[in-house]
Amino acid sequence: MVVPNTLLTRHGFAEVKGGVPITQKMRYGPSMDGEFQLGETLRGRRIVVAMSGGVDSSVVAALAKATGAETIGVTLQLYDHGAAVKRAGSCCAGQDIRDARAVADRLGIAHYVFDYESRFRDDVIADFADEYARGRTPIPCVRCNQGVKFTDLFGIARELGADCLATGHYVRRVMANGGAQLHRAIDPARDQSYFLFATTQAQLDYLRFPLGGMPKATVRAIAAQNGLTVAMKPDSQDICFVPDGDYAGIVKRLRPETAEAGEIVDMDGRVLGRHRGIAHFTVGQRRGLEIGGSPYPLYVVRLEPDARRVVAGPRAALAVAGARIEDLNWIGGDHAGPLLAKVRSMAKPVPAWLDGDHVRFELPEYGVSPGQAAVFYGGERVLGGGWIAETQAAVQAA
């Protein structure tokens, strides 16, 4: 099966020679393949596109321009750590800003850059270090979406008089039952709904996600056909402000106490060894413990930052029956009964029940850590989610 050329030509793009192969499961509907859900004609409309300098947001800008709407690209400068300025695959830093500007010039649209580096440092990077210092596993991408991107960027788009704010996220905005709903992307390998659970209904009413019904191959094909220099640019890193992948280095620099050495103990408190700082560990981690002589592999089961202690145990000790959720954001209407829960970005949603601020899993989940998010689904629809505050260990068979 190939992507119909009408998918591209309807947006004013040249035919893709030979077609782009996709799986049989891919589907393209009128609200999934680049439509901005602003009516039959977009002439006289204004669309603001959040442009990070990557291929995804660049194609959204191209799709918006092709509708006939006035299109404005907006880039937030969020950080500029020296090594990241020229590093491919980063986000919202030096080279990325130049790439976004080059795409805007190619498309003939206005492009504005706003400096939010101090806000990003205080609200996202500092929170990232604080969570590690508390022995939790942070998700800075969600914090960024909650704050800088879906709060400050909203304000900018509205000040510019935009009818909507469009982003390159791989999720779908589906109109059903008289309102906008957030759904998973058609391509499960690209779905980013886990990182957008904190989106409010008011934000969803204003947001547009034109790529949620496309595979990545189609997005890159559109970019190439339009001569966008970012067509083959690598995807951005999960944690954009860590240019060398050394998460612990940033945490230790901002929270020096996380570099203090301490004990590694087993589930009964017996000392197994020493560690060089809790900044190097998260729940579920196996590598880095450097403890020999155990009859079974050891994992990080719990962190006790006040005592500078790492608790290690067998994989079975990671089994979690449920968790308490805080700051729950619900956009699922009156959904009741069983649902699906996803507790890590790379995990598959699993059957669960939500009772107030507690989620209970049908089967034990592994590697669930305070600080991560629990996101709830009803089929393809995102119902909401919240932050995991504490977990309840699964009862082990005698």
Nearest Cα to 113, choosing from 80, 64, 88, 146?
80
* Lowest-confidence pick of 76-90, 98-112, 255-269: 76-90
- The pLDDT score that the predictor gives to residue 396 is 57
What is the rounded average pLDDT of the residues 307-332?
A: 95
Order across the sheet with 271-275: list the strands: 271-275, 262-265, 309-313, 299-304
Closest CA to 289 of 269, 268, 303, 305: 303
Half-sphere exposure for 150 (CA within 13 Å, toward CB): 22
Residue 2 pLDDT exceeds 60: no
Higher confidence at residue 95 or residue 279? 279
Nearest to 63 by CA among 23, 20, 103, 25: 103
| 325-340 pLDDT tens trace | 999 999 999 998 999 9
Residue 243: enclosing H or E segment and its boundaries?
A: none
Residue ranges of the chain assigned to CATH 2.30.30.280: 260-316
pLDDT exceeds cutoff 50 at 13: no
Q: Tell me the average pLDDT across 55-83.
A: 88
Q: In the predicted model, is pLDDT for residue 158 greater than 60? A: yes
Cα end-to-end distance, the chain, whole Å: 52
Q: Are strands 271-275 and 207-208 parallel, antiparallel or unpaired?
A: unpaired
pLDDT of 115 strictly over 90 = no
Of all residues in the chain, what percent are helix, strand and coil, respectively (each to 5)? Answer: 30, 25, 45
Catalytic residue among 91, 141, 144, 164: 144
pLDDT band at 18; cut points 50, 70, 90: very low
Q: Annotated catalytic, 92?
A: no
Structure-model confidence comparison of residues 92 and 202, the more confident one: 202
- Read off the pLDDT band of 16 (50, 70, 90): very low
Architecture of the domain defined by 319-393: Beta Barrel (2.40)
Interval 33-41 mean pLDDT: 75
Whether 397 has a pLDDT exceeding 60, the answer reads: no
Q: At what angle do helices 126-133 and 247-254 cross, to 10 degrees?
A: 90
CB of 318 closer than 8 Å to CB of 293: no
221 vs 32, more confident: 221
pLDDT at 91: 56
In whole angstroms, give the CA distance from residue 318 to residue 394: 8
Domain 260-316 has CATH 2.30.30.280: yes
> Torsion angle of alpha carbons 74, 76, 80, 81, nearest 10°?
-120
- Does residue 164 have an active-site annotation? no
Higher per-residue confidence, 79 vs 57: 57
> Whole-angstrom Cα distance, residue 222 to residue 45?
23
> Sheet of 164-166: strands edge to edge?
110-115, 70-77, 46-50, 164-166, 207-208
**Residue 165: closest CA among 82, 71, 282, 267:** 71
Instruction: Give the confidence band of 260 by pLDDT, cuts at 50, 70, 90.
Output: very high
Tell me the pTM. 0.85
In this model, does residue 289 exceed pLDDT 70? Answer: yes
Instruction: Tell me the average pLDDT of the chain.
Output: 85
Query: What is the pLDDT at residue 78?
Result: 81
Confidence of residue 4 (pLDDT cuts 50, 70, 90): very low
Per-residue pLDDT, averaged over 230-248, amounts to: 78
Class of the CATH-defined domain 6-225 = alpha beta
Average pLDDT over residues 114-127: 85
With a pLDDT cut of 90, the percent of the chain lying above it is 64
Q: Where in the chain is the domain with CATH 2.40.30.10?
A: 319-393
Instruction: Give the pLDDT score at 363.
Output: 96
DSSP 8-state symbol, 196: G
pLDDT band at residue 376 using 50, 70 and 90 as cut-offs: very high
